[in-house]
Structure 1
């Protein structure tokens, strides 16, 4: 029986006043999602030796940090923060990342893909190649260096098909790889955190949330976000059915026409692979209204690196991607 059904039974069986006295007043879906996420975070804190939150400054990791604050308040956030920096991030997002780390008294550690390039563990095929997929190498190096046994991330099942295959507690082997055929059951919210030497966990507390849930929660909790998530004017070119921002890393190609449009970002990542969408939604409420009518998935509408094949993300996850 689902949690809400249990609450309904309690209310009908003992009366509304008594139910309220016992703390069983009716919850909405955001309350239930929040409770599940906080339970997962506390489970990680109790069972894992050295967990970190993967914090990029994007909206999902912002929600994750806010949930961690609520999970451990009045104590500081229970996990250090780790950002894998490609070196090609939007300045607004990096500034926001640092501000939020200070606001929540979080210990922020940054590891750079550029350092992996210097060490020779990442080799680019060409100078302008997207560094997004190479984050996997830097992340695995950071996990080994810091002896991390659990990484909490903001991935959600509704983002992409391969993410929908992944458990909330996802085991990665000694090489950092994920095998979709060898996952542990998670019946009745019972999570197996046992690890063999060299293994680690990827944990996704908001796995069951949708993009719309995230924005409704942002609106309700008044969570600040980078300005890129809201409507603004930007130069773009049309390429492959997407709007590509014009930047020094993504200049227009021969024959492409530069347009100034009102856009916003649904997801924010490496400049080289993150595209905005045409939108006039300048507030969280307007974005919620827009998403309620949207039929295109978040990554399908905005990620240049997911356009090659349906298995692109799954292959990267097998190699150690978030």
Structure 2
């Protein structure tokens, strides 16, 4: 007589992974020209692993794209190129610097943050390639305006987003239909939290840019944040630079992304830190999110991812 072995219980990560893979396959099947946005950050690294599970051993049914502000951390750009080369997938890079040269982006000062200006370059790239779906790693727990997005978030022919006029997504049914010129932003890990992301990174043993782990760095204290000392963010009059052990919870534009004090050297260490964190990663590390919810929401209405 043989004894049946009960299957192992599915964890919350298994359910989140299954949902995200289903969304990726649905978009690939329904959309004519999707693209996956890959910056080299932790959330987009998770998206790449999900895409591998959804479509390997075949090639991805979409290219990868990065909107480069020109003010990215060099460690992240090096990681981005190395990761894409290892996958053997197509990477499209479009630069805010080129939009500035064309005159479609105008900064008040040369040293201004280019973070919000990415929206213009992204919309130009969407028009250039005819993308009807942009897949990204935004999550609802990051910021209040992001929490208003659907999984498939519709943009009109001008790239505009209206949070009051979104399509229903009852019973996990996603409406991806668009007219020429329109597109949708797709967020397969929208229901994940920062803690889920790090637990998945640990489980899948994902490689990440070194900035996510503790390292010594010169910083100044500004607006309640630790601002890295760089040529783009120099020490101001009256400030005192100090060298601390820090890590980045998110890696964006150098001009607005700040680290946190930390000695976490592994995903397990970061999971323990994240479990007791009281601020979201953007709220604790982004200078450009220190004003009000309307600031992010206004940028998203104009095309910001």
Moved more, 68-77 or 263-272: 68-77
Say whether 1:203 aligns with 2:186. Answer: yes
Distance 1:218 1:41 in 2: 19
Partners of 1:76 and 1:104 within 8 A in 2: no
TM-score, structure 2 as length reference: 0.98
Gaps of 5+ in 2: none
| 2:122 matched residue in structure 1 | 139
| 1:55 matched residue in structure 2 | 38
Q: Which has the higher contact order (CA 8 A, sep 6+)?
A: 2
Equivalent residue for 2:214, pick from 231, 234, 255: 231
Distance 2:189 2:87 in 1: 19
Q: Please list the CA deviations of residues 189-221 of structure 1 after superposition, one character each: whole Å capped at 9, or x if unmatched.
A: 101111122110100000000000000000000
| 1:313 matched residue in structure 2 | 296
| Deviation for aligned residue 1:19 | 6.5
Say whether 1:86 aligns with 2:69. Answer: yes
Partners of 1:69 and 1:104 within 8 A in 2: no
Q: Please list the CA deviations of residues 230-265 of structure 1 after superposition, one character each: whole Å capped at 9, or x if unmatched.
A: 000000000000000000000010000000000000
| 1:38 matched residue in structure 2 | 21
Q: How does 1:286-297 map to 2 (within 5 A)?
A: 286-297=269-280
Partners of 1:77 and 1:104 within 8 A in 2: no
| 1:116 matched residue in structure 2 | 99
Equivalent residue for 1:66, pick from 45, 49, 67: 49
Distance 1:112 1:65 in 2: 22
Matched residue SS, 2:219: strand
Distance 1:251 1:240 in 2: 15
CA RMSD of aligned residues (A): 1.1
Q: Please list the CA deviations of residues 168-205 of structure 1 after superposition, one character each: whole Å capped at 9, or x if unmatched.
A: 00010011010001101101110111112211010000
Matched residue SS, 2:145: helix
Equivalent residue for 1:262, pick from 245, 258, 261: 245
Q: Please list the CA deviations of residues 289-316 of structure 1 after superposition, one character each: whole Å capped at 9, or x if unmatched.
A: 1111111111000000011222111110
Equivalent residue for 1:301, pick from 279, 284, 287: 284
Partners of 1:93 and 1:226 within 8 A in 2: yes
Distance 1:18 1:294 in 2: 39
| 2:112 matched residue in structure 1 | 129
Say whether 1:148 aligns with 2:131. Answer: yes
Moved more, 244-253 or 194-203: 194-203
Say whether 1:279 aligns with 2:262. Answer: yes
| 1:218 matched residue in structure 2 | 201
| 2:168 matched residue in structure 1 | 185
Q: Please list the CA deviations of residues 126-156 of structure 1 after superposition, one character each: whole Å capped at 9, or x if unmatched.
A: 1110000000000000000011010000000
Distance 1:221 1:103 in 2: 17
Matched residue SS, 1:272: coil
Partners of 2:130 and 2:181 within 8 A in 1: no
Matched residue SS, 1:70: helix
